[in-house]
């Protein structure tokens, strides 16, 4: 491996401003970059919007040789290369969508030592002879595995081809390997290290807190679409996630009919249509993308202002990742989950249909994992606790409530004491266990409510002392209580297609009257109070800001790039506030590096001067 030059913090800060236009590193970036410059293996977990790409891009510029970046999606590669080139950085990509001539041109650039970063798909990297050919053309300084959570089947977006990336260590034993991801639980982090064969890696785990995001849960009801429409009409780019293709098409069509420029995105559309719709959204030609979870990984659109989950996400990890596509520029974003018990039943049915493709037998391990993930999501949705506390605890991080930027902190729900009902429920499960029996939630609720169903009569359960003691509580309330006790660990569910309830040792304090159980009185509606919530940053109503946005849009279209490639909203806000009238003053604006100063500086300064003089 080529010797790594010693670079001090001052030199790194200077390079940061020259190449990327920033005067200071974000939290954690300098430490990661220093370890990368020292030639260490690295595992870095940084939330979306935390600036993880810069942590390997800057070392790539300062080290001799070529940095190889493995990325799972063509769109992600194209976006990263486009942004790098806009900053005057030589970067290339190799993927299956290229023509032979485009691939040949990329190889010529590599051989001529013109590239500093090369983005490739894992399939290309693993092709026989590819790494050997690349090593003959250029010295490889480091291999970066972006979206590294894809290597772990414990993660939310496992890709089988990523598992084969361990062969990179065998083929390039002296080259440092750096894994980067926005989301990974402690289990997934350990799996990444093992799967990629990282050697004594420097581990960097940034806080998962995104203080600019407002998290809320609303009741999913007949008025949900109207609330979505109101949100869309307020403006700002938004993403609506749905579980099914049909729901995607329906909501996109309704939004279009109501005057919102919305586009669908799902696997049922052909590749060309998906690519076109994604491009329209990224380039601000469409305001809203309505999509299944097939959309989004690595999409670097920084000015998404809101994300609505119309259906339940697969896991809390997936929800954090998908909702976190709002506010990547650091400005406020809304993350809203619509929740209903009906969605829960649909999700349960989908879990029960998971069977082995060859034998047709239920995949109990997968079902158990999916059910546990669903239970975590439901607990998040129904809990009266701070949303941030729940999210960050999932990733192994502690946080002190109240956060001041979620619905439960700004508008705490009224609570019902359901301790007596919880003890009645646990007692019923315990009575059944004493008889050597165990049943699912539905049958246990029938016993509690005194329902004389055929199954209750056949089992003789109408003779139990607990029969009918919970008749005052409606079935949905009993189910909510069961979900709460499952989340608290007082109850457990068996694996299998039809899980049964089981009492645990954690139920003892509750049965002894040593702890209480509460439930929110009603599901959250659209009238969630938001007083005290952080207001939108920047002069969004400033006429100069709007004029600069129009100039940016025109320049972006003339150069066939998304608007944020010219400048982000953060830079436009700073321009509107500071109003620089010279190139020297313009150079001090965040996000203005040498290349962008040269390319766009005079145009924007003239526009600001014209506005100032008018």
| CATH class as words, domain 416-520 | mainly alpha
Q: What is the pLDDT of residues 452-471, one digit of tens each?
A: 999 999 999 999 999 999 99
Alpha-carbon span 339 to 331, nearest angstrom: 26
Residue 538 has pLDDT above 60, yes or no: no
Task: Write the DSSP assignment of 440-501 as a string of letters.
Answer: -HHHHHHHHHT---HHHHHHTGGGSTTTTTTTTS-HHHHHHHHHHHHHHTSEEE-SSSS--E
Tokens of 117: 């970063």
pLDDT tens sequence across 200-244: 999 999 988 999 999 999 999 999 999 999 999 999 999 999 989
Which candidate, 587, 569, 592, places its Cα nearest to that of 87? 592
CB of 209 closer than 8 Å to CB of 28: no
Element housing 98 (H / E): none
Task: Quote the tokens at residue 125.
Answer: 């990297």
Helix (H) or strand (E) holding 92: strand 91-94
Of 70-79, 156-165, 357-366, 564-573, where does mean pLDDT reach its minimum?
Answer: 357-366
- Distance from the Cα of residue 510 to its chain's centroid: 36
Contact 83/55 with Cβ under 8 angstroms? no
For the chain, the structural domain boundaries read: 9-205, 213-412, 416-520, 543-613
How far, CA to CA in Å, does 524 sit from each of 342, 343, 382, 401, 408? 15, 15, 9, 20, 10
* pLDDT score recorded for residue 6: 60
Residue 351 pLDDT > 90: no
pLDDT in tens, 68-106: 999 988 878 888 898 899 999 999 999 888 889 999 999
* pLDDT of 578 above 50: yes
Cα separation of 530 and 552, whole Å? 32
Task: Indicate whether this model's pTM tops 0.85.
Answer: no
For the domain 543-613, what is the CATH superfamily, name and number? HRDC domain (1.10.150.80)
Instruction: Characterize 390-409 residue by residue with b for buried, 16 or more Cβ atoms within 10 angstroms of its Cβ, and e for exposed.
Output: bbbebbebeeeeebebbbbb
User: Tell me, what's the pLDDT at 535?
Assistant: 43
Architecture of the domain defined by 9-205? 3-Layer(aba) Sandwich (3.40)
> Is residue 212 within 8 Å of residue 388, measured between CB atoms?
no
Q: What is the mean pLDDT of residues 407-416?
A: 94
> May I ask the CATH architecture of the domain 213-412?
3-Layer(aba) Sandwich (3.40)
Residue 358's pLDDT band (cuts 50, 70, 90): low
CATH topology agreement for domains 9-205 and 213-412 = yes
Closest CA to 149 of 168, 165, 133, 138: 165
Residue 411 has pLDDT above 70, yes or no: yes
| Chain center to CA of 234 | 24
């Amino acid at each position: 491996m080529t010797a790594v030059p010693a670079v001090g913090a001052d030199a790194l800060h200077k390079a940061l401003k020259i190449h990327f236009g920033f005067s200071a590193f974000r939290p954690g970036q300098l430490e990661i970059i220093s370890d990368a410059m020292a030639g260490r293996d690295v595992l870095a977990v940084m939330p979306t919007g935390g600036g993880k790409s810069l942590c390997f891009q800057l070392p790539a510029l300062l080290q001799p040789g070529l940095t190889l970046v493995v990325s799972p999606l063509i769109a992600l590669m194209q976006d990263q290369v486009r942004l790098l080139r806009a900053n005057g950085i030589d970067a290339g990509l190799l993927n299956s969508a290229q023509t032979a001539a485009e691939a040949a041109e990329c190889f010529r650039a590599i051989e001529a030592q013109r590239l500093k970063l090369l983005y490739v798909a894992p399939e290309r990297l693993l092709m026989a002879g590819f790494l050997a050919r690349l090593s003959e053309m250029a010295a490889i300084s480091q291999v970066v595995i972006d979206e590294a959570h894809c290597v772990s089947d414990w993660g939310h977006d496992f890709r089988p081809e990523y598992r084969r990336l361990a062969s990179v260590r065998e083929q390039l034993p002296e080259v440092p390997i750096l894994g980067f991801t926005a989301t990974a639980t402690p289990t997934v982090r350990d799996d990444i290290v093992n799967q990629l064969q990282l050697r004594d890696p420097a581990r960097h785990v940034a806080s998962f807190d995104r203080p600019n995001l407002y998290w809320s849960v609303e009741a999913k009801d007949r008025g949900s679409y109207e609330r979505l429409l109101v949100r869309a009409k307020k403006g700002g780019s938004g993403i609506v996630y749905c579980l099914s293709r049909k729901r995607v098409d329906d909501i996109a069509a309704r939004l279009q009919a109501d005057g919102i420029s919305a586009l669908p995105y799902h696997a049922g559309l052909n590749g060309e249509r998906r690519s076109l719709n994604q491009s329209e959204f990224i380039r601000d030609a469409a305001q809203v993308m309505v999509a299944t979870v097939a959309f989004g990984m690595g999409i670097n659109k920084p000015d998404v202002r809101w994300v609505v989950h119309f259906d339940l996400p697969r896991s809390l990890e997936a929800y954090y990742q998908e909702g976190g596509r709002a506010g990547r520029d650091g400005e406020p974003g809304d993350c809203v989950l619509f929740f209903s018990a009906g969605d829960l039943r649909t999700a349960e049915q989908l879990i029960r249909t998971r069977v082995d493709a060859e034998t047709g037998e239920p995949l109990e391990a997968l079902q158990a994992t999916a059910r546990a993930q669903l239970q975590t999501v439901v607990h998040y949705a129904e809990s009266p606790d701070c949303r941030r506390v729940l999210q960050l605890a999932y990733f192994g991080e502690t946080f002190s409530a109240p956060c001041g930027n979620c619905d439960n902190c700004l508008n705490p729900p009224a609570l019902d004491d359901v301790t007596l009902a919880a003890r009645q429920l646990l007692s019923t499960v315990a009575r059944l266990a004493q008889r050597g029996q165990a049943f699912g939630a539905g049958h246990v609720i029938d016993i509690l409510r005194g329902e004389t169903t055929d199954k209750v009569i056949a089992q003789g359960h109408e003779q139990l002392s607990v029969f009918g003691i919970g008749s005052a509580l409606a079935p949905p309330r009993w189910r909510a209580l069961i979900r709460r006790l499952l989340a608290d660990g007082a109850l457990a569910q068996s694996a299998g297609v039809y899980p049964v309830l089981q009492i645990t040792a954690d139920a003892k304090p509750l049965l002894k009257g040593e702890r209480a159980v509460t439930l929110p009185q009603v599901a959250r509606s659209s009238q969630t109070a938001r007083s005290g919530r952080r207001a939108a940053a920047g002069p969004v109503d400033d006429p100069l800001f709007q004029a600069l946005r129009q100039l940016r849009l025109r320049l972006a279209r003339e150069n066939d790039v998304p608007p944020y490639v010219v400048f982000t909203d953060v830079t436009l806000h700073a321009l509107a506030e500071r109003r620089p009238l010279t190139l020297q003053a313009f150079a001090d604006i965040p996000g203005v590096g040498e290349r962008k100063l040269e390319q766009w500086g005079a145009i924007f300064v003239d526009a600001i001067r014209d506005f100032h003089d008018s």
